[in-house]
Amino acid sequence: MRRVSSVEKRKVRLLVAQGLSIILLLAFSLSVKVSPAVPALSGPAAEVDQDLRTLSVFDFLWKKDSLAKEVLRLAFPMLRYAEEGRHDGHEAPILFRVAGYFLGFIPQSAKDLAFGGFPGFLLESEALEASVTLYDPRKLEDDWGYTPVMFSLPPGEAPPTAALLSGGPLVAIYHTHATESYLPEIGKTQATEAFSSNMSKTVMRVGDLLAQELETRYRIPVLHSRTVHDAETRVGAYYRSEQTVRAILDKYPSCTYLIDLHRDSQPRSITAVTIRGKPYARVLFVVGTDNPNWVKNYEFSRKLSEKLEEAYPGISRGVFYESAVYNQKYSPNAILVECGGVGNTMEECENTVKALAWALASLILPAAPDAP
């Protein structure tokens, strides 16, 4: 008789645990209407368009009971990271939406469903090999492109007076969803098509512009990670970007400002604005409340939003907060920024980046600079 290996036993136990979890969710599924999170600002500038949404048992337990959180995370390990992408709201096939009702996240493909719900069925050696191949910290450094600003000043210009600019990069920009693009830039019309492998047409380009503006105009040293964390699937992207954040901080603990730059899924009617005759992409700040830094993260995001509104009325959509982490546990100055939506242009994003860089510099530098 063939002996059952320990790996097979572990898989059977995992299957039983997950099966029981699903049965419990099916048995006790309920629907509750809740109001959306209140944005930090009031008025048109703060609008965060959300319909009342139906919460599954997963949502209810996830938000209300820390013990239930840990139980569900043990049964479905990838939910910790898959859950964090839910504010994007991309439409999935109806069967996946039904599955998402019970799993707590909406998979975008059969692969996502299998990976998100049953990660234990991936062979440990395969998972380890994939991790080492894609996210070896030594290889991540090749994507950072950090050059000290003090050695790249234009000829004849004096160095900045701020002493804080000489100890390594101060700001780290990265992209959990680097493939997020803008429809006008890629010649598409459907929101679900607003993704590209051409990084010059995605939020990666917006990150380049932000890094350039902070460095050349304000002499703030920036590390911009060009690592793509969502090349194959968005599920698990926050786990992968967390490895990037940790690798950056291990080598450059001077990075006290962490910016995860995204593109929102909202239409142009919500994400575009004209200010003094110039078009801008509106920004939304997102804060995850499941980390010890969330109050400080929220306060920093609120200050940025208010600073932007003072000089560029209508450019900010406010601060949206929800139960998540978003890698913001690593710094009290960690922010997630949605720059525009699917219908914005790169020109509008570039205009916004100049405003955002100024707002950041106003909070970072000892003396606040004039708005561009």
CA 77 to the chain's CA centroid: 19
Distance CA 17, CA 30 (A): 21
The C-alpha angle with vertex 333 and arms to 211 and 356, in degrees rounded to 5, equals: 40
Q: Where in the chain is the domain with CATH 3.40.630.40?
A: 126-364
Higher-pLDDT residue of 120 and 372 is: 372
In one-letter notation, the amino acid at residue 356 is L
What span, in angstroms and rounded, lies between the C-alpha atoms of 30 and 64?
A: 14
Amino acid (1-letter code) at residue 296: K
**Each residue's pLDDT tens digit, 241-290:** 999 999 999 999 999 999 999 999 999 999 999 999 999 999 999 999 98
Q: Look at 166 and 132; give whichever has higher pLDDT.
A: 166
* Alpha-carbon distances of 83 from 10, 70, 260, rounded to whole Å: 25, 14, 17
Tens-digit pLDDT profile for residues 101-158: 444 444 545 544 454 444 333 333 333 233 323 344 445 555 555 444 333 333 344 4
pLDDT at 263: 96
- Give 126-364's CATH code, choosing from 3.30.450.30, 3.30.365.10, 3.40.630.40, 2.70.98.60: 3.40.630.40
Whether the full predicted model's pTM is greater than 0.75, yes or no, is no
CA distance 16 to 23: 10
- Give the Cα separation of 313 and 360 in Å (integer): 17
